[in-house]
Each structure stands twice: as C-alpha cells, then as structure tokens.
Chain A
Amino acid sequence: MQPPLPQPDALRTAMARRAFIGNAGVSLGAAALAGLERRLPAATVAAEQSAPAAGHPRIHPPLPGLPHHTPRAKSVIYIHLNGGPSQLDLWDYKPQLQEFFDKDIPPSVRGEQRLTTMTSGQKRFPVAPSKFRFTQHGESGRWVSELLPYTAGIVDDLALVKTVHTNAINHDPACTFVMTGSEIPGKASLGSWLSYGLGSECDDLPSFVVFTPLPDIPPSQALFTRMWSSGFLPTRHAGVALRGSGDPVLYLRNPAGVSTADRRRMLDTLGSLNAHNLARYQDPEIETRIAQYEMAFRMQASVPELTDLSTETAETLSLYGDDVNKPGSFTHSLLLARRLVERGVRAVQILHRGWDQHGNLPRDLASQCLDTDQATAALVKDLKRRGLLDETLVVWGGEFGRTVYSQGTLTKANYGRDHHPRNFCMWLAGGGAKGGTSYGETDDFSYNVTEHPVHINDFNATILHLMGIDHERFSFKFQGLDQRLTGVEQQRVVTEILS
C-alpha cells in the first residue's frame, strides 16, 4: 500500500504547522541565516502561492543576456513521432502517383542515394501510391490525408514544412540528430538547451519535462534517454521524464509509513541541521541543497496537483479524447503538456513510438493516427481558446520520412515504406509560426526536394529563434568546441514560416 500523495490542502496545513529555523531552538550564525533568508523565501513561499512574489530570484533563472531578442514563444511543446511517419500518407499529397502503381521509381529520381540495407538488396523499387484519400481543408486549402480528420480541422493554425531533411538514415542516429543536432551521442538535447538558456517560469516543477507514452500497438523501437539528456550541459537541465505508471516523477512518493506531515517534520530537522552546517562551512552548495530539498517537497505536492485532472471540465476532457484519463497514453500526456506550460514550464516533449512502418503501413499507420490525431488537434485548440497558443510553440514531426517505393509486399491495399531522410514533413503551430502556410516542395515522388530545403538544424534554429535565442550566439564550450544545438555549419532561420 502506498500512502496517498500529498495534496495541496494537506501541504498547506503542514506548512503552517511546521517550525522552520526560527523556532527550532538553535542559535545559528547570523551570516547563515542571512544567506538562507536571501534564498529561501522564494523556495518556501512558492509552495503556498502559485508564483513567487516579484523580485524574488527564480529557481531556474535565465542565463545573463538571454533571451537575445523578444521571444515569440515562452514555452515549447514538441510532439515527436518516433520511427518516421510517412509524409506520403499524411501531408505530401501526390495524386499523380496512382499511375505509377507497381512501376519502378525512375532511376533519375532515385539517383545514387544511400538506401538502408533493408531495401538495398531489393531488385525492384516499385512505387506505392498512398491508398488514403486526401481532401482540402481550411482557408488555406491544405491537402490532408483522411487519417488526420481532427488535425485537418486546425490546418489554418499550422505552418507546414514539407522539405525537412536530415543526415541520418537509421533510427538511432536520426533520433539523436533531430533532438541534439548531432548523430553522435553525448550532445545536449533541445529541451536542455532551452532550460539552460532561458530557465523556467515555474519554481515548483522541473523546467524541461518529457513524456514517453506508449501507442496502442506495442512498438519494437526503443527510445533513448539521450533524446532528452543534458549531454555536456549541467545535469539539472536534463529532461525529467514523467512516467506513465507508478510515480510520475521518480521517488516522488514518500515511502509507506511516512506522511506528508512526517516528511515536513523530517525536512525541518534536516533544514535546521543543514543550516547549522552551512554556518560552519559557509559553502554555498549547502544553501543550494537546502533549496533543492524544499523544491523536492513542493514537487511532492505540485506534481500530483499537475496530474490531478479533476479541475478540468468534462468538455475539455472530451475534446482530448477517450484516453484522457489513462496515464501513459498520448492523450493524457498532451493534456498534461498544456497544464505544464500553463504553469510556466519551459519545454515539454512527448515522444510517441511506433511510426516505423516497413510493412503493413495502411493498417499500422491508421492505428497510430487514431492514437494521436484527436489529442494533437485538441491541444492546439485548447491552447488557442485559452490565449496560450500565442506564447506556446507546438512542434510536430519524426526523425525522417519514408520512401515512395514499397518495401516488401505491394498491393493496392497493402505496402510498406523504408526510411527516407531526404525529405519529410514537420509542422509548427502557435508561438510566432505563421498559420496556414506550407513551405517547400518535393518532386512528384516525394523523393527529392525541388524547392526550399530545410535542414533539421535550420528547423531547430527556427525553434530557438521563436524562443528568443540567436542560435549562432548560443553555445557551450565542450571538447574544445563552442557546441551549438545547430552544429558547426551555417544554419538559417526559416523566416518564411514566421508570422
């Protein structure tokens, strides 16, 4: 039996009852107390108020000099479709492909490109036209696949980029690349960079939060913690993965037999003893530790409060969909994402697996869309009606796209597609992205970019730009280099998709 997680009310009572340093009967060094009073009010008051009083230093302050310019977005919600969703069956409409059914893709189109060894041995590269119907939506008249009926309803809020390309052709390096700007493990992830540079508006929660919801069909692909790791940046900027089962934050819950009041009492003693030690050693790390224990205590209340959906209206819950009350689902994660940015968390990342359709694409892709489409659209709508979309950037995309030619069996109704890094679709919504735009064009086979290529690092530079960061001036010295999220080569902010 686990005890119930502390609730805000219980917490407030405990806070009121508790005796902090002042009346613990110990005389502390004046310097230590002064130090504590300087830092701690932000920590203690925050538990009782939703935000610290003006003038109190933040737990996660931004770096000096940041943001570089007025940000368009304060927070980012990044929906990562892990495995490589098929651009051909969702966004990149190619009606003329029907005539090419089961015909080989012309060599002039395929060129000398690298293939994965899953298909490089194939004798034929037969074209598999999408079996899904596309229709036009919104004032922008965007073509959208029938697999995304809900997302089709928000196309005028989306800035679609059809020509994103990446360097890597396999999952592991491509995932590492899209999230850290490098195929080599060990670099910092996008969310960590944002946390490092911009800090957080929220003192009760980590500045970078990650969800790893499982799709309906258990996927075979793995995720890697390096996709939300802080790499060479200080570890406090690593994404904190809120978990779908058990405690949402590791070790959040007091052990059975320890109540919130017990923990508060324990922390009071601990704080006093640590303060005593601070008086003795004068080491500022002790101050930080005291503050982090208080933060931990606040998280014991704020995280359950975050995940308590009883304050959401039935209408909101139904907007997101049936799974909204199922922890660990994509739908649940997206509603929590909204609640996190509402509370000032800087970066939220949802990594949804199962988009790697080498075979049985029509069946499995449909299932994936069913799992995600409604909640994705709901998130954008929900943010918009609350006035949050203007300051929240929503990002949607995978690590690469898929080939026009079929891998394995090809029939009118069934086919598979291999990895395709040369062009794929991603979209931005809110936070300064220009709704209703579509950027970049591909050839008739969605195999090559014909107009306006956008490298994944350009895309990331654009995200940073909207967050108020000049990607070229945002670096961290490591291994002898000024490390950047966007790498060492020249990258460009895609201004054409900004409002």
Chain B
Amino acid sequence: MGSEATVQFDRDIRPILSEHCYACHGPGEQEAGLRLDSAAAAEALLDSGTRAITAGNPHESELIARINASDPDVIMPPPESNKTLSAAAKDLLTRWIASGAAYEQHWSFRPIVRPTVPAGEQPNPIDRFLAQRLATTELPVNATADRPTLIRRLSFALTGLPPTSAEVDRFVADERPDAYELLVDRLLTSPHHGEEMARHWLDQARYADTHGLHLDNERQMWLYRDWVVKAFNDNLPFDQFTIWQLAGDLLPEATVDQQIATGFSRCNVTTSEGGSINDELVFRYAIDRTATMTNAFMGLTGQCAVCHSHKFDPLSQREFYSLYAFFNSAADPGFDGNVLRTTPTLAVPAANQRQQRETLTAEVAQLEGTVDAAIERAFLSVQPPPPAATKWIDEAWPEATVARHGPDARVAWVDRQPAAENATAATGGSRCLEFAAEQPTQTVLLGPGLTMKVPEQATLVLDVKLEPADAPVAVMVQLRSTGWDHGVAWGDWAAVPLVDNREKDKRKALIHADEALTAGKWQRLSIPLSRLGLKPGMPITGVAIAQSRGRACWDNVGLDWPAKPTPTAACNDWWQQQAALADEKLREFPAAIRSLLQQGPKETTDPAAIAKVRRFWATQVWTEQPASVALAAAELEAATKILADLDELVPETLVFNDLPKMRDSFVMERGAYDQPGEKVQRGTPAFLPPLEVAENQNPTRLDLARWLVSGKHPLTPRVAANRLWQQFFGTGLVKTHEDFGLQGEPPSHPALLDWLAAEYRDSGWDTRRLVRLLVTSDAFKRSSVVAPRQLRQDPDNRLLARGPRIRLDAEQIRDQALFVAGLLVPAMGGRGVKPYQPDNIWEPVGFAGSNTRNYYRDSGDSLYRRSLYTFLKRTAPPPFMSNFDAPNREAYCARRERSNTPLQALQLMNDVQHVEAARALAARGLAASATDDADRLAWLFRTVLARRPEPPELVLLTTALNNHRARYQGDATSAKQLIAHGDSVVPTHIPPEELAAWTLLANTILNLDEAVTRN
C-alpha cells in the first residue's frame, strides 16, 4: 500500500507490534521489563544491558536481533505464542528503526485536525478524498447508476423501503438538474427516515422487549425505541442525542423525552434468577453499561479491561473502573423482579389518558380528604376507657372467693401502717393483710369472684412490708390458670418457700424476680404477666401468696393494665413497630407507603406524610374502624382501583437514575464482583482529553456525556461519522467499526474520516446534514456493476470505484414484501407486535413460569407493521430477523454480518409472510391498469425492482407464468391452497388458478437476488 521509501509507524509498524508484541510487551504487561508501545520505554536500558530499540541503528537494537534469531529460546515472538513475523514485517521493522524509530500516537486518539479538501472537480468533498486514493490505482471508476437503481438504493438507504412505481416514474422524468438532491430532501423528511435510522442505533443500544436472562419476561421500554425514531425524525443534534441518553435525567428540569432517552443505559439484559447474588448482578449491569457506552461513543472495547489492563489499548483496568464508577450507582435493583416495569420507570400517559388521570387523581385526592375527615371525627369521638385494675388482697377477701391458709399461718386484716400515700380506689384503702408463721407458708385464694381473663399488657402488682424484727427473706405469688404454673418470687432464691420441696420441673413455673427485698417499709413489687407465661385471654382462676418464715403485711395484690390507647396512640405504636421491621417484611406494604413506614413516627414531621400513614392504618389496620370511616374508605378504594387500572394502561418506560447515595467503586480483581481492590473515583482515561468538572465537584454522568461531545474528544466524532458511513456504504471507513483501538483496522481513508468527523462536529452535530453529504456523493451514486479488475484488486469495494451493493437487512426484506404487496401498515410506535412466526420458536426454550413462554400471534394490522416494531424476545428472537443476521440484542452490536444461507432461501420461499405477500402482490398486479401478461409482468417486476425487465427476463417470466398457469389449471385444489395463506382477504373476482399462477410468479420475483439486494 505505502511507498517503498517511507515507513510510517501508524500504518506499517503499530499493526505489527500490536499483533505480535503488545500481549507481553505492551500497556498491560511488560515481560522482562520491556514495553514497546512508547519510544522512551522501548529505548530504555534493559536489565539485560541491552536496548530493544536504538533509534537509527538496527544493529544495536535487541529487537532486531531477537526477531531474526533461530534459537527457539531467543526468538521473538516465542514459539508458544503461535505468532510468527513475516519477512516483510521484519524488513519494515528494520527500516523503521534505521530511519529513526519514530513513534506516533495511535491514529484515533490524536486530536481531529480538519484536513484540507483535496483539489478536484467533484462538488462533493467526499469524492475528492476518494479520488486521491483511487488515482493511485488503475481501477476503472463506474459511472452514475441509472435512475431506477438510484431511487431504489436511496429509498432503502434513507427509509428502509423501496420506492413506489409512481415515485420511480416521477424521478425518471424529473429533468431538473438537482432532481436527485430534491429526492434526497424529500426522503429525509419522511417519517420512515427516522425508523430506518433508529434500527441501526437500536442494535448498538441493545434494545429489546424482554429482560433477556432466565425467565426472559416482557419488559416495557418501547417508549425508548420510539424516542430514538423521533430523535432522528427531529434531527436532534448528535451531541444532544448523546447527552440525553447518557445523562438526560441530570439535565435541569429534564423533559419527558430527555428522561426517556436514559433508557439507553437500561437496555442491558437483567435477571431475577433465584440463587443469583445481588452484588454480582449490580456489578454486571454496571459493566455492561460502561462497555456499551465505551463502544457506542468511543468505538473502544472495554471488556478486556474488566479483568486486566488492556494488553493492546492504553485503557488501564483502573481507568475502565473509573468510567464504570459513573454507572455504578444505578438506582435499579440487581433482581429485575421478572416484572414489566423494573424501577425506576417513567409513566408517559397519552393526552386523553393524562386528562382522565388528572380527573381521577383529583377525585382520589378529594376522597382522601373525605376519609381523613371521617378519621378525624372518629378519632375524636372514641373515648378510651380509663386505666383499669383488679385487686385480690386489698381491704377484705373478695366476694365469692374462698381463702385457705397453710399450717401455722396467722392471718389477719389490719390497718395499714403507715397508711398508703394518696389512698385512692386505685392504690388501696386503709387496710392490709398481716401474714405470719414460724415456717414457710401460704394463703390460697380461689373462687368465681376472682376468675377473669388476662387483659392486654397486664402487670402483677403488690405492696409488701416486711417486719424488720422478723422479716421473711423471700415472698412469692403464684397464679393459677389451668394449673399453678405461673409464679414469681422475690428475695433469697434458696429460701423461696416450697422450692426445695417441689419436683424439679415444677420449678420451671417460677420466675425469680430481680428486685431485692427491703424490710421496714412498704415496697411495691411488680412483674408483667407475660413473663409468667400468661398471655392475654388466658384464664386466671386462683391466687396464692407465700413467704418464708416471718411476718409481713400484704396489700394491693392484683393486676394493673394500661388504658386502651387512643386511636392516635395505637396508630403511632403500630407505625413504630413497622419501622423496626426488616426490609423484606416492609416489602409487603405498597411502595407508596413503605418509605414512610420505614422512617417511623418520630422522624416524620410532614403533615401530609402523617395523614397518609394514618389513613393507611385507619382503613387497613384498625380493627375497631367505625362504619363512617369504612364507608368513606370503600369509596376511596374504588376510585383508587380505577386510577391504578388506568395507570396499568399508561405506558411506562425504564429510565436510568442514580441512587441518592453513591456506591463506592473499586477495581475488581480479575473482574470478580466480590474481589474489590483499589478504590477508584469517577474519571476518564489519561490518553484522552481531560474531563472538565466544576471545581470541587464530583464528576457526574452529565460531565461524562458532555466530555464525549465536547469537540475536543478525538473518538466520538470519528466513531459517529464512521457509523453513518458503514450504514450507507455497507462497510465503514474503519471496517472494524466495533474497534477503533490498536487491534482494530486503521481507516481506509484517514483524511476523509477526519474530514467527515470535523464536518459533523463543526456543523453542530447535524446528523441529517452529514447523511445528505454521504448520499449525494458520486461514490454513493455509482453503478454497482463489478468490473473484473475491481473484483480482483478491491473485492470488498473499500475504494468505492463502484457503488455499494449490499444485501438488504432482515427488517428491510420483510418490510419490502409487505410494502410492495400493499399490506404494510405504516402506523408508528407502541408495544412490540407479534406477527406470523412458525410454531415452537418460543416454547422449546421458554421457562414454565415465563410470560413469554407461549407465542400468541396478533391479528389484523399488527401482522403488517414495520419490522422495527416486532416484539423482540432475546432468548428466542424472531427467526425472520436472526435468519438474516439481526442480532439478538443480548449485547451491543456495532456491525451486522451479511450471511447468505439456505435457511434464508427457505424462509423467503416458504414463510407464510412471504407467500401471503406474493399473493397480495399478484392480486395488485392483476388489478393494475395493464391488461396483457407482458404489461402485468413488467408492472410486477418494476414494483419490486424499480426497473423494467429486459427482454430475456420477460421471456423467462412469460414462460414461467404459462407453465404455472398450465399446472394450476388442472389443479384447482392446489390453486386454492396456494392463494389462501395468511389472514388478509383473498380477492374473489380473480379465478384461483390464475391468482395461484401469478402468486408463484410473484414469489419468484420476491426471491430474486436483486430483490433482496440494494443494488
């Protein structure tokens, strides 16, 4: 390619070093301390005392000695690398060192300097750049293609659809000098233009309609797809296109469209597979988003740097994780929940929905007010009973009880000394029970007069005064429920009456209370009944008091229980309890109330929030809800359901947001989610221009997005311009569009690429302007007939001596069939549709629990929508798409293959979609004004191919038609079968035999190589 005399690092040397040396002596690894990717490192003195490169002197350069060595232990690259240097490569390296071993920065990382447009006759600068290179060859350059070919090529390129015959006629007859440019302008404003442009971007954005992993359930984010179409139809400048998608949510007062656009970073595959690990999923999603951004805008492959510093590109592992840090605080969960709308989402109601929603929301708000008022009234009207108590030993034995005393017990009701302070009904009157014995003893009290149920939160309470001169060392109270199993003792455990005398397991029924006993004064003892194993509602049927030997007075022995709380207090108590629950438990509450509950009553001051929790409690939890509240709540519930059901219908779309609090980011060792290494901050790679951030601010995604389109970035404009070149010419100027790094292929026309990049950037990223520039070039318009010399010297048509001739994409092939058949329904946007699909595409791969396990095809218009709107299930993409190389959208795809397989032939011949289209096309042909076969054949031919058949072609078609006629004349059954495929209406005025013959003929034309090719 280059001249013999000069060796250029970029063109000649870097590819050799990158391919053969950098894996061990590059940015990532430096075996033997040698690094060959910069002059300073390569010329440094090595441990071995030699220098790999001595500029100007190959004989003093160890590199030259090594590559020419024959000893397998010495030769480089080593035999185990399976790489060998060709003689030509060795020669280049030698000459390069001899001429001074000048290094250059990798071409795509250099700043874009707008090249001077070469002098020339051609009006379009693109052609002058191309001509420069063509002039060095002897390739014959093709003339402009004929007009029918041109309009078909242009229509597919700009709208993804063929022209109508009327459009072809008009263009062919258009004698204006700028007829072609006018056609371009017309097509650029077609709404189909945005659809065609969007298709290519959606491959890069990995858009699909399911989550992609495990259950692979449906996911709702078609609003993002529709936004991409709209963005192209509005000719949104590419810098805005970039910023909105990467950081639309961070723009001040972000519009709905700007938020929808962030779906770009939500298109990645997600899972909810049981057994997965949340941190790993979160990590993977962030990696995918980083890699997709890196590739879509910078054309770099980030995946290598997930595990190790890039061996070839200067992107270090640390730098990759600094980019990852921009995406690592995503607000969406690791587990997608297998739901349609994994948060965060944005609801985007249609105009009428918005209005209905406003009305309903106002109604709901009003009803909430009604409920709140009812609650208020109820809360005020409920008078909780005062605190309550019962006394067993107070002034005298209670009525309807019997009391029996143990041996030697001396029991007497006496005056209380000193009298109880504040003697009231609650604290007891003036008397108490004196109880004395020379041995441990007790008093047992039984009878209906004391039988009761354990109240809520009850406490056993008693007053006791021990005679200092003869004080018992322990006292005990036992309560009987169904047995005497609920006792409590105070004092010396060893001296607790009966303890030593009872069976061991009975002792379990006794609690030893902590409070110490003090003699000589009234002492209040208490213990919650719950500690005695008495739950609310259990019966209490007896009481026994006991003491070790000695004398004591007992009073106020009984139960206290608190007043029933007011509704307000009950609500707050409940709230407090919920606030303490674990996250999983809280998840059982509706999302709207979850965070309020979590916050707790003490932390909440917002009256609206308090009202919300109170409303929830009073309507959903309160057991004693009065009818007034229940009725108002019922009305609110009904209105809420109607609103919620409307919201189900309101489309939502997954959007990208950050968590309120940033996650820390680390270099993950070997790319393992659980091996965090060095902590990293958000930042951009050192080999690219610096990121501009407001002082002392943590960089945001918005900063990152703006950095990409700042105008200084060397990659973004080149990658964007190359993507469009690839789209319109079939192959990028950089063929490896997915890789602009050192391992990618250098551009075929570096100056042209830089000029286009500069032109794009400096025009304010005017996409439509650049597209117009591309398709109005002579190169785009040239005839695609291949001269033998062109095929020999430039088989891949990189020099464009001929026009681009490429197979149509999957979507274009199907859309064309529908279009020429008159079946295409041009409606735009909306949920993915399910057209014809063979049986058992989804089912064999589907999970039992998946909502995309069974394919239920649509009917009516949905069968005939543009392929862009076909529902894309990632684990089983539509075969009409994958058969023709459409990616399954599991990962970003920068470039589609163009394969040529027998399965494609079978599809185009036999798929009901295409058979139906052939029949509809045939029916259209028969209904057209033409009357004889030749005219009709020409009509059919031209409707698909835009050109008239040549005489030999017409002969072939006529013969075929007559053969088909002869065959179906004798077989009406077959004829009727052939015309019956598909759901669309079969015209009845055409004899089936005739329509069948024409159908098979139309099927032939739709299967022509020319039909599936953009000539």
Contacts and interface: CB of A to CB of B under 8 A. Distances in A.
A54 interface: no
B909 A263 contact: yes
B420 interface: no
B214 interface: yes
Interface in B871-911: 875-877, 879, 882-883, 885, 888, 890-891, 897, 899-907, 909-911
B755 interface: no
A77 B960 CA distance: 44
Interface string A456-484: 00000000000000101100011111000
Interface stretch (B233-241, B553-561, B949-957): B949-957
Interface string B907-931: 1011110010000000000000000
Interface string B292-328: 0000000001011000001011000000000000000
Contacts of A184: 303, 891
A292 interface: yes
A117 B335 CA distance: 12
Interface string B666-707: 000000001000000000000000000000000000000000
Nearest to B883: A250
Given A186-B890, A292-B905, A480-B313, A169 B981 contact: no
Contact of A273 (B807, B875, B953, B963): B953
Nearest to B974: A257
B213 interface: yes
Interface in A225-284: 225-226, 229, 234-236, 240-241, 243-247, 249-259, 261-263, 265-266, 269-270, 272-274, 276-278, 280-284
B903 A240 contact: yes
A220 B847 contact: yes
A430 to B, nearest CB: 28
Most buried by A among B274, B784, B910: B910
Contact of A250 (B301, B879, B891, B1003): B879
Given A185-B890, A234-B899, A257-B996, A218 B275 contact: no
A284 B791 contact: yes
B952 A172 contact: no
Given A246-B839, A251-B910, A419-B275, A1 B903 contact: no
A285 interface: yes
Contact of A222 (B850, B897, B1004): B850
A314 interface: no
A262 B967 contact: yes
A295 interface: yes
Contacts of B978: 255-258
Most buried by B among A229, A254, A283, A480: A480
B277 A257 contact: no
B109 to A, nearest CB: 14
B271 interface: yes
Contacts of A27: 952
A283 B786 contact: yes
Contact of B807 (A1, A220, A225, A285): A285
B356 interface: no
Given A222-B846, A480-B304, A269 B791 contact: no
B847 A250 contact: no
Given A257-B979, A270-B1004, A295 B890 contact: no
B304 A255 contact: no
B276 A170 contact: yes
B787 interface: yes
Most buried by B among A1, A169, A218, A285: A285
A100 interface: no
Contact of A480 (B301, B963, B1008): B301
B979 to A, nearest CB: 7
Interface size class of A (residues with CB under 8 A): 35 or more
Contacts of A295: 902, 905
Interface in A294-341: 295-296, 299-300
A240 B273 CA distance: 28
Given A259-B974, A281-B785, A281-B805, A172 B844 contact: no
B273 A170 contact: yes
Nearest to B910: A251
A280 B1009 contact: no
A15 interface: no
Contacts of A277: 1008-1010
A250 B838 contact: yes
A255 B915 contact: yes
A94 interface: no
A25 interface: yes
A265 B274 CA distance: 55
Contacts, number: 250
B881 to A, nearest CB: 12
A223 interface: yes
A219 interface: yes
A280 B146 CA distance: 14
Interface string B976-987: 111111000000
Nearest to A252: B906
B909 A296 contact: yes
A480 B847 CA distance: 35
B899 A172 contact: no
A366 interface: no
Interface residues of B, number: 98
Interface string B734-768: 00001101111000000000000000000000000
A292 B486 CA distance: 90
Contacts of B1000: 258, 262, 266
B977 A172 contact: no
A220 B849 contact: yes
Most buried by A among B269, B845, B876: B845
A263 B964 CA distance: 10
A479 B957 CA distance: 46
B805 A247 contact: no
A36 to B, nearest CB: 13
A282 B788 contact: yes
A331 B91 CA distance: 60
B108 interface: no
Interface in B642-676: 674
B190 interface: no
Contact of A225 (B785, B849, B875, B957): B875
B220 interface: no
Nearest to B82: A473
A286 B277 CA distance: 51
A100 to B, nearest CB: 24
B975 interface: yes
A480 B743 CA distance: 5
B907 A250 contact: yes
Contacts of A472: 80, 82
B265 interface: no
A225 B875 CA distance: 6
A460 to B, nearest CB: 17
Nearest to B741: A480
Nearest to B274: A118
B977 A272 contact: no
A290 B1010 CA distance: 12
B50 interface: no
Contacts of B119: none
Interface of A: 1, 24-27, 31, 114, 116-118, 169-172, 184-186, 206, 212, 214, 218-226, 229, 234-236, 240-241, 243-247, 249-259, 261-263, 265-266, 269-270, 272-274, 276-278, 280-286, 288-290, 292-293, 295-296, 299-300, 418-419, 470, 472-473, 477-481
Please give me the 10 A-B residue pairs with the lowest Cβ-Cβ distance, nearest first.
A257-B978, A116-B275, A257-B977, A296-B905, A480-B743, A256-B977, A296-B902, A295-B902, A235-B899, A251-B906
Given A117-B274, A254-B910, A256-B978, 6 more contacts: A222-B214, A222-B845, A225-B882, A258-B1000, A281-B1015, A293-B905
15 contacts: A117-B277, A172-B271, A186-B891, A218-B848, A222-B214, A250-B879, A251-B907, A254-B909, A255-B910, A256-B981, A258-B978, A281-B784, A281-B785, A283-B805, A292-B900
